[in-house]
Amino acid sequence: MVNENEIINKLASGEIKLHEIEKYTQSIPEAVEIRRKFMETISASRLDNVSHFSLDMEEAMKKNIENPIGAIQIPVGIAGPLKINGEHAEGKYYVPLATSEGALVASVNRGCSTITQSGGANVRIIDDKMTRAPVIKAESVMEAMELKKWIENHFNELKEAAESTTSHGKLLKIDPVVIVGRYLYPRFVYSTGDSMGMNMVTIATESALSLLSKETGAHVIALSGNVCVDKKPAALNLIEGRGKTLVAEIVIPKEIVHKKLKTTPEAIEEVNMAKNFVGSAISGSLGFNAQYANMIGAIFLATGQDEAHIVEGSLGITTAEDKNGDLYFSVTLPDVPLATFGGGTRLETAKECLEIMDAYGSGKVHKFAEIVAATVLAGELSLLGALAAGHLARAHRDLGRG
C-alpha cells in the first residue's frame, strides 16, 4: 500500500502519472485529494475553495471529467419573473444565470420586467435538430458523385443503421451532401429528444458510415468534416440552423419604453441599425446582435450545457422597429444546442438550476428552449435600451449646447 506522500513524490518525479492515482488509492475522493495536494505542492498554493464541493465526483468521473482536483464555483443569480407566451413555456419564469460579469443579471432582470409588463414574450421554436457531417475522400469527382447518389438512394438503410444505435435519435435527412473536388461531406440531420445529442449523433453516424463503407468502399477521412458545424462560428449554421432555432419577440408600448428603458422606440431602432446591422456588416461578423453570448453563456453555465456551444449561441439577428408608435423587438437565434437531460445537466447544481424552471429531464427541452430565447430577448432589449438612453441623453445635451 502506497501512502499519500509517496504518491505525491512519484507524481513529482513522473513515475506515476496524474491519471494513474486512482490505481493506488482506496476511493475516488482520496485520489482527488491526493491530486489536489500534489497541485498545492508543486505550486506552493492552497486550493481550499476548489476542494469545497458537493458534487458526487465518482459519478462525475464516469461522465464529465478526468483527473479531477475538485470543482470551481461561479455565482448564480436570478432574473425574473419573465412572462413567456410560448408553445411549451407559458407563464412567468425565474431564470438562473451563472456569471462573474457584474451588472449582467441586473440588466437581464430589467429586460424581464419590461417584457413582463408588456404582456410577455412570444417565442417559437422554428426548427430542432442536431447534425454531424463526416468527410469522405473518393478516388475522383466521378466516384464522389456516385457516392452521393448511393447515399440518396439508400437513405432508408442508412437511417436504419444510424437509428439502431440509439433509442431517442431519429435520422431526419442527409442534406446537403456537399462535394468539393473529390471530398464528400454528407450532413446527417437528427432529432435527439431532450439530449443535446452530439454523442448520440456521432455514434449513429458512425454506424451509418460503416454500412456505407461496407457497401461502397467509401473511405471516411474523419467522422467530423467541419460541415456539422460543431463549436465553430459558421454561416452554414446561421442559414440552416443547428440545435434549436429560436425566435422571441415583443411589442412594447411606447409608454413602457419611456418609463422602464428611459428612451424611445425610435432611439432603440436607430441604435439597432447603427450597431447591430451596419457595424456588424462592416466587420464581417456573423453576430448581428449586441450581446447574445452573455445571456447564452450565463444560462448555459447555470444549467450544465456545454460551454463551447456558447460559440454557436452567439450567432443571430436582432430587429427593432417602430410599430404604430410602439416598439417591435425580436431576437432570432438559429443555432442553440440544448439539453435537459444527460451530459452536464446531471451535475447536481445544473439539475437544481433546471428545476427552478421546471425544466429538468425528459420532455422538457422545448420548454427550456423557449425560456432561453426569452431570456436572450430580455438581455438584448435591456442593453439596447441602455445604449439608446445614453444616445438620447447625449442628443439632448448636444441640442442644449447648440
74 binds a second copy (CB under 8 A): yes
Q: Are 212 and 203 in contact, with CB atoms under 8 Å apart?
A: no
Q: How far is the CB of 264 from a second copy (least distance, A)?
A: 14
Residues 369-398 touching a second copy, rule: CB under 8 A, are: 387-388, 390-391, 394-395, 398
Residues 170-189 touching a second copy, rule: CB under 8 A, are: 176, 178-183, 185
Q: Please report the DSSP string for 114-139 in residue order.
A: HHHHTT-EEEEEEEEEEEE--EEE-S
CA torsion angle 170 173 178 184 (round to 10)? 50
The span of 22-30, 118-126, 151-159, 252-260 binding a second copy (CB under 8 A) equals 118-126
Q: How far is the CB of 163 from a second copy (least distance, A)?
A: 22
Helix (H) or strand (E) holding 384, with range, is helix 365-401
115 binds a second copy (CB under 8 A): no
How many residues of this chain bind a second copy (CB under 8 A)?
164
Nearby residues of 149 by Cβ (< 8 Å), 6 or more positions away: none
* C-alpha closest to that of 197 among 45, 309, 65, 321: 309
Which one, 2 or 178, has the nearer CB to a second copy?
178
As annotated, the active-site residues are 101, 306, 396
Residues 331-370 touching a second copy, rule: CB under 8 A, are: 331-332, 334, 343-344, 347-350, 352-353, 355-358
Helices (H), 287-362: 292-303, 310-313, 348-356
Residues 10-49 touching a second copy, rule: CB under 8 A, are: 14, 18-19, 35, 39, 42-43, 45-49
Which one, 253 or 390, has the nearer CB to a second copy?
390
DSSP-derived secondary structure letter, 49: T
**Burial code of 138-170, b = ≥16 C-beta within 10 A, e = fewer?**
beeeebbeebbeebeebeeebbebbbebbebbe
Strand partners, 135: 222
Residues 239-268 touching a second copy, rule: CB under 8 A, are: 239-240, 247-249
80 binds a second copy (CB under 8 A): yes
Cis before 81 (ω within 30)? yes
Residue of 5, 27, 142, 152 interacting with a second copy (CB under 8 A): 142
Which one, 9 or 226, has the nearer CB to a second copy?
226
Residue of 13, 26, 102, 156 interacting with a second copy (CB under 8 A): 102
Residue of 34, 70, 151, 158 interacting with a second copy (CB under 8 A): 70
* C-alpha closest to that of 97 among 387, 372, 332: 372
Query: Residue 8: which region, alpha, beta or left (left: phi > 0; alpha: psi -120 to 50)?
Result: alpha
Q: Could you give the CA distance from residue 168 to residue 170 in angstroms, rounded to a whole number?
A: 7
Q: How far is the CB of 229 from a second copy (least distance, A)?
A: 5
Residues 199-238 touching a second copy, rule: CB under 8 A, are: 213, 217, 219-227, 229, 231-238
Residues 280-339 touching a second copy, rule: CB under 8 A, are: 280-294, 296-298, 300-302, 304, 306-308, 310-311, 314-315, 317, 319, 321, 328, 330-332, 334
